[in-house]
Amino acid sequence: MNNCNNCGNPVEDTSRFCSNCGASLVDEPLDYINKPKKIWTYLLPFLALLLSIAAVSYTYYHELHVNEKVLASKQQADELALNGKYEQSEALMAEVVEKRPEHEALQQELSSIRSAMAMNNDLDLVKGYIKDNRLQDAKESLATIQNQVVNQKSRLLGTLSPRINDLDSRITVKEISNELNQLHTIDELAAKLDKLSGLNLEEAGKVRQKISTKIVAIATDKAEKAIDDKQFTEAVNVVDRSLQYVANHEKLVKLKERVIKEKSAFEQAQEERIERAMQQAAEEDLKNKNDAIKILNVKLSKNKDHQVKLNGEVESVATKIVSSVKISYDLLNKKEKVVKSGSTQIYPMYLNPRDKGEFEKDIYGVDGDLSVKITNVEWYVE
């Protein structure tokens, strides 16, 4: 056994290299020994550089691929959220954040999606309140959600606005529907109809129809009463005001036509009545002036002293009070010659229509068989 010339370690006789230090135990040419050392000196750094470049390239392209997937997933999550599919969007965005947890913007977007999802669930509760007619609870909850949307000023939360507006409209429709039985005037109903005019909901259309039907019923009832009272102008005004809210409604249009016809007929009849009344008044005036007193009876008599007495009765056929009625007469003999003329007053002094009056007078200075003739009657019309 020999010892290594380099380190002194015992080596086998047949060994070519020292097992301790690796030194050659045989004599070789110098150029053979130095040649491999020179090659590896340049080769190893080159290989290391290649490996580093490969590792960096792999890392770069891997990260680039991950970024592309993250971006695509984020865009898809955004689209889902904007379309109201918050659960799917939240699940996808959670995967994105897991791949890039260091990105604060992604964390914030995930938080926004979760906020929108929570608010959307709250809107489901509001919808349930409306269905159960718990309108006060619905209004309070909806107001809270609206305040949150306004305060957070998030584009994503803005996607809830259409649903918020829809639920707000449904609350309005439900409130008006509940109030219909307490509304009894056209103006009250018209105000509710105006409030519903901008709501494009099936329920709003049904409530509008109910209001229109009630306006027609109220207008018809009021117009009919006005017609009965001959207040035709008021009836037309009622119908016209109602037609402002239920335009061209067939029943109201026909009612207005009827009112106008009845008004025309009434006015014509009224004119005829006035004309007849004027004619009658003229006739009555003429009668009161010319024929107000009717002579019922006249007679002459003599007392035991053969004194002549004239008496009789009259009736007022005037249409007004007459007064100071004076009867003029002639006394005639058998030859129909006037032997004496005179006059006498009727009492009482005032006679109402259909009242009767009497006259009586003692006549002196006449004798024989006499008759009387009423020559004139005078009176005053009050």
Sequence-ordered list of residues with C-beta below 8 angstroms from that of 317, at least 6 positions apart, any chain: 287, 291, 292, 293, 294, 353, 354
pLDDT at position 91: 85
Sequence-ordered list of residues with C-beta below 8 angstroms from that of 222, at least 6 positions apart, any chain: 235, 238
> 336 lies in which domain range?
293-381
pLDDT at position 88: 82
Q: Nearest to residue 377, comparing CAs of 302, 291, 287?
A: 291
Residue 8 lies in a domain: no
Q: What angle do CA 143, 105, 109 make, to 5 degrees?
A: 35
Q: What is the pLDDT of residues 285-318, one digit of tens each?
A: 888 888 999 999 999 988 777 788 999 999 999 9
pTM exceeding the 0.75 threshold for the entire prediction? no
Residue 143 lies in a domain: yes
Overall number of domains in the chain = 3
Average pLDDT of the chain?
A: 85
Under the banding of pLDDT at 50, 70 and 90, the label for residue 129 is: very high
84 and 67 share one domain:
yes
36 and 144 share one domain:
yes
**By percentage, how much of the chain surpasses pLDDT 70?**
88
Under the banding of pLDDT at 50, 70 and 90, the label for residue 41 is: low
pLDDT at position 28: 52
Domain boundary residue, one of 148, 182, 216: 182
How many angstroms separate the CA atoms of 221 and 133, rounded? 32
Is the pLDDT at 62 greater than 70? The verdict is no
Please give the sequence-ordered ranges of beta strands (E in DSSP) within 304-355, or none if there are none: 308-316, 322-332, 338-345, 350-351
Mean pLDDT, rounded, for 224-243: 93
Mean pLDDT, rounded, for 271-295: 90
Is the pLDDT at 351 greater than 90? The verdict is yes
Mean pLDDT, rounded, for 161-168: 90
| Type of residue numbered 261 | K
Mean pLDDT, rounded, for 1-12: 75
